[in-house]
């Protein structure tokens, strides 16, 4: 029995299998557009989760058939490839004592192409999907073929060594489309009442049970669409009762991809921890089948208490395994302070599910703000470090910290210099917001890791080129940041005007005008308003928070729509600052004044090229990372810091 979390780390029987703890790795994968399930990146990802100690590892959504799906990834139609990959994946989990499962999915009307043999895109009903494609109502003949495909896929998964299967009936995919009144307008026995809308999903459950009588089944569904006219919690309770006794584990999530904001599908910074726990607890009361839930369950005490109190039987996590695949092991061995927490920043999501409306391309790659190794873990096994070198890292922000840690772990001698008396850079400013507490945990972890290593840490040390030459390093990694942009309009040098990195609370007046409504300015506005200041934000473009990961952009804009949010002036620019106010001009050329005790500039950073280049000849190898290279997000600074140090 675990001393700290006895319920979380207790075993549970699901069908005919015993899972060693109550932690499920939900089906989140490294994006893969090859015809293989078991890409090297995904294989390593699943194995790391199993090695960490997750009891149940559910492999990525595998499309049961290309019939009616866009065929952009692997499907069970490719029998030989599918079996090879299924066997590899189940073996990777079993060697660490985990239970292996696979998520069976079909996207139905959520497709980007008309993919059926006759050029039609089939869905429960004829509706226009979010890609603007008109769908065609699925015939019962096609539905029968899909039922057979689900059953065959489950049989193949069992034959390939998987211990369970998950039926993915959530998030707006095909089965969710049948359940939701927003997407199911049928007039036959598969539409209308809840009993009719549930008929097709239940037929799939029955077909799998008939084909694989001993195979445990997990059914995942959204218990709330969070959309007007969508599937509701009351219906979710009734549907759970229909599933009770037919499946072995009920997995509760919520929201849908048909909602442009994705609601709480990927809970953001402003979403409460355990957001789906109330839904799951309500369903748990209505059924005898064990219940699992997902949704920002990052507080293990909350998770343990929820299991102990009978609200749920298991928890699931997705992005937590992206941020730190080893987090379960760290919790188990009382090393929670070493976990890289998921920041809920949304960085990992757009690359996997498509571009934001303001980005033109889909990268098909997953990145993480706190885990620069994600999808590239294999490199450490085939790229050895070079000869031991003396590495001077100048600047102790997130990029510099990561560079120092990586260089040391690769066997180099590391000197880390920071001109102030503390490490962390601008993250120390943004981490003051209550909705960014994970940022604080992350940067504190990085600082502890630097201090735990034999890195020569020199605070209050502003390095000059002469000093760098005296240190005589083999490598310089420059991470000195950039300089906040100060605009040329009248009054910009007024003492009441400060930059975001100078947001000392002792210098702030009650009425604050923020010039710049990008991610930094928009978040700063919410933080200051939360602290009780009167805040207005001026942004030249027609939207706030442009440039942030799409889901975070949506979440921030939702916060600005709530009562009491800061004032916002879009398509507006500052043209001057007086002793009492900010003079602004909108896109129609109208000028007006906004009272201001303090003006906060958040219009970006620029690299100080000459200052940075002065270090180039101070070592044989020279690299710039973060804002001194070019204006960068924390993700970019951390990733480049890792890459540069790894390559030494």
User: Can you tell me the distance from the alpha carbon of 119 to that of 528, in angstroms, rounded to the nearest whole number?
Assistant: 53
> Can you tell me which residue has the tokens 């919790």?
331
Helix axes 79-94, 40-52, angle to 10 degrees: 30
Q: Which runs of consecutive H residues, i.e. helices, occur in 561-648? A: 609-613, 634-646
Q: Which of 388, 387, 400, 394 is nearest to 449 (CA)?
A: 400
CA distance 400 to 419: 12
pLDDT of amino acid 34? 57
47-68: b (≥16 Cβ within 10 Å) or e: bbbbbbbbbbbbbbbbbbbbbb
Tens-digit pLDDT profile for residues 466-515:
999 999 999 999 999 998 888 888 998 888 999 877 666 777 999 999 99
Whole-number pLDDT of residue 352: 43
Question: Residue 85 CA to chain centroid, in angstroms?
Answer: 26
From the list 389, 393, 390, the residue with the least C-alpha distance to 461 is 393
Q: What was the pLDDT predicted at 52?
A: 97
CA dihedral 36, 40, 45, 47 (to 10 degrees): 100
Express each pLDDT in 529-553 by its tens digit. 999 999 999 999 999 999 888 889 9
Q: Which domains does the chain have, with CATH numbers?
A: 12-353 (3.20.20.70), 383-482+607-646 (3.40.50.720), 484-604 (3.50.50.60)
How much is the pLDDT for 365? 77
Q: Where are the beta strands (DSSP E) in 455-571?
A: 456-458, 475-478, 483-484, 497-499, 511-515, 534-538, 567-569
Can you read off the two tokens belonging to residue 15? 């069908």
Distances in Å between the Cα of 287 and the Cα atoms of 131, 236, 280, 283 are 37, 12, 11, 7
Q: What is the pLDDT of residues 338-380, one digit of tens each?
A: 999 999 998 887 644 554 555 566 666 788 999 999 988 888 8
User: What are the phi and psi torsion angles at 568 (to 5°)?
Assistant: -130, 135
Residues of the chain with pLDDT under 70: 31-37, 70-74, 113-118, 350-364, 502-504
Tens-digit pLDDT profile for residues 111-150: 876 555 567 788 999 999 888 888 999 999 999 999 999 9
| CB 309 within 8 Å of CB 274 | no
CA nearest 519: which of 551, 556, 481, 573? 556
């Amino acid at each position: 029995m675990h001393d700290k979390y006895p319920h979380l780390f207790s075993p549970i029987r699901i069908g005919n299998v015993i899972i060693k703890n109550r932690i499920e790795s939900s089906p989140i994968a490294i994006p893969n557009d090859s015809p293989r399930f078991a890409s090297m990146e995904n294989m390593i990802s699943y194995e790391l989760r199993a090695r960490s100690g997750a009891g149940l590892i559910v492999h990525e959504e595998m499309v049961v058939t290309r019939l009616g799906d866009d065929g952009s990834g692997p499907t069970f139609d490719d029998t030989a490839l599918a079996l090879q990959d299924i066997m590899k994946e189940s073996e990777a989990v079993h060697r660490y004592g985990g239970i292996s499962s696979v998520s069976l999915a079909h996207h139905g009307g959520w497709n980007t192409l008309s993919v059926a043999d006759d050029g039609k895109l089939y869905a429960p009903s004829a509706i226009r999907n979010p890609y603007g494609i008109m769908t065609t109502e699925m015939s019962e003949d096609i539905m029968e073929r899909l039922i057979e495909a689900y059953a065959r896929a489950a049989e193949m998964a069992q034959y390939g060594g998987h211990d369970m299967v998950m039926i993915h009936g959530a998030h707006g995919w095909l089965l969710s489309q049948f359940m939701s009144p927003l997407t199911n307008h049928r007039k036959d026995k598969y539409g209308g009442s809840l009993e009719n809308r549930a008929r097709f999903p239940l037929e799939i459950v029955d077909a799998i049970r008939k084909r694989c009588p001993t195979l445990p089944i997990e059914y995942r569904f959204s218990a709330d669409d969070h959309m007007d006219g969508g599937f509701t919690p009351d219906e979710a309770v009734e549907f759970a009762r229909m599933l009770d006794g037919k499946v072995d584990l009920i997995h509760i999530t919520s929201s849908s991809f048909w909602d442009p904001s994705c609601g709480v599908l990927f809970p953001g910074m402003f979403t409460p921890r355990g957001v789906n726990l109330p839904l799951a607890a309500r369903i748990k009361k209505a059924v005898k089948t064990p219940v699992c839930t997902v949704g920002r369950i990052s507080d293990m005490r909350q998770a343990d208490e929820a299991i102990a109190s009978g609200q749920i039987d298991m928890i699931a996590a997705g992005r937590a395994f992206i941020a730190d695949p080893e987090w379960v092991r760290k919790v188990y061995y009382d090393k929670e302070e070493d976990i890289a927490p998921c920041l809920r920043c949304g960085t990992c999501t757009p690359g996997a599910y498509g571009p934001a409306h303001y980005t033109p391309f889909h990268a098909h790659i997953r990145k993480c703000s706190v885990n620069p190794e994600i999808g590239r873990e294999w490199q450490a096994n085939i790229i050895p470090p070079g000869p031991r070198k003396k590495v001077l890292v100048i600047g102790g922000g997130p990029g510099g910290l990561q560079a120092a840690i990586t260089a040391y772990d690769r066997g180099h001698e590391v000197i880390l210099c920071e001109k102030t008396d503390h490490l962390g850079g601008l993250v120390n400013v943004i981490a003051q917001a209550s909705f960014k507490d994970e940022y604080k945990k992350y940067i504190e972890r990085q600082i502890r890791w630097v201090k735990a290593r034999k890195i020569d840490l020199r605070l209050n040390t502003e390095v000059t080129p002469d000093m760098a030459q005296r240190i005589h390093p083999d490598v310089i990694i420059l991470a000195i940041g950039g300089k906040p942009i100060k605009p040329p309009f009248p009054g910009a040098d007024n003492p009441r005007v400060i930059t975001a990195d100078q947001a000392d609370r002792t210098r702030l007046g009650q009425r604050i005008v923020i010039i710049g409504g990008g991610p930094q300015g928009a978040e700063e506005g919410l933080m200051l308003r939360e602290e009780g200041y009167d805040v207005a934000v001026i942004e030249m473009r027609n939207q706030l928070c442009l440039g942030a990961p799409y889901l975070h952009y949506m979440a921030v804009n939702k916060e600005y729509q709530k009562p009491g949010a800061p004032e916002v002036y879009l398509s507006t620019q500052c043209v001057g600052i007086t002793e009492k106010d900010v003079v602004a001009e909108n896109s129609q050329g109208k000028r007006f004044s906004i009272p201001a005790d303090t003006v906060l500039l958040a219009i970006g950073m620029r690299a100080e090229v000459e200052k940075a280049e002065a270090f180039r000849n101070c070592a044989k190898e020279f690299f710039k990372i973060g804002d001194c290279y070019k204006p960068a997000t924390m993700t970019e600074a951390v990733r480049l810091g890792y890459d540069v140090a790894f390559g030494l």
